[in-house]
Amino acid sequence: MLSQILVPMDDSDPASHALEYALDNHPDAEVTVLHVVGVPSMMMGDAVGLTLEGDISEGAADRAEPVFDRAHEVADERDREIRTIVGVGHPARNIIDRADDYETIVLGAHGKDWNRATRRFLVGNVAETVSKRSPVPVTIVR
């Protein structure tokens, strides 16, 4: 029986399905939802806005709030508690760097659905990268 599960989430439907799966299939586990806000770069338009924030951590927390609101809705529907944490940086790297603190990772098969070819070229497929490099088991939910 698993006791610590990490569920990385963005605002996509597959990410919500991953959280539903984790909560439904592991009723006794402590579930932590991680939302990673990208670091500013020329290639990541949304993250560039973080540089305009007075405090990057506060800006990241503000951007994570809608994702966490959705995560809490999913958890409330199942009468479950979840923890939430915000990461800043590359999503796959951020997930892998935290993996040792959990027994497993449950994530959606696809994240935010913008041009898949562009996403794979620029930042890689997060689910694929995490599944290949994670030191703990990974469940990918479709």
Residue 110 is given by DSSP the state S
Where on the phi/psi map is residue 29: left (φ > 0), alpha (ψ -120 to 50), or beta?
A: beta
Task: Report the pLDDT averaged over residues 47-65.
Answer: 70
Task: Report the pLDDT averaged over residues 93-115.
Answer: 86
CA 105 vs. chain centroid, Å, equals 10
Task: Report the pLDDT averaged over residues 9-31.
Answer: 96
| Residue indicated by tokens 């479709």 | 142
Residue with the bigger pLDDT between 111 and 100: it is 100
Q: What is the pLDDT of residue 79?
A: 98
Task: Report the pLDDT averaged over residues 24-38.
Answer: 95
Choosing among 3.40.50.620, 3.30.1330.40, 3.40.50.300, 3.30.930.10, the CATH entry for 4-141 is 3.40.50.620
